[in-house]
Amino acid sequence: MSTPNGTTAGPLGLDPELLAILACPDAHHTPLTVDEAASELVCSTCGRGFPVRDGIPVLLLDEARHRSA
């Protein structure tokens, strides 16, 4: 799969360069990891899972879910 600029898409259809810079929007700004099975970006500090909808990460604290430990 390719992105519109011709680069290869990474997990969840996201550009690998974008994944490298995404961070939790909470005050600690921890880098996010990918949970492909849940279609989420996950913060290891606060335990939130941020949904990825149609290849777009939704990094709103109100939209995130608290994942069980």
DSSP code, position 68: P
Radius of gyration of the chain (CA): 12
Q: What is the pTM of this model?
A: 0.83
Give dist(CA 33, CA 38) in Å, integer: 12
CATH of the domain at 48: 2.20.25.10
Whether 4 is in a domain gets the answer no
The count of C-alpha atoms lying within 13 angstroms of the C-alpha of 53, restricted to the half-sphere facing its C-beta, is 7
pLDDT along the chain (69 residues), means of 10: 62 92 97 96 97 94 89
Whether 5 is in a domain gets the answer no
Give dist(CA 39, CA 69) in Å, integer: 17
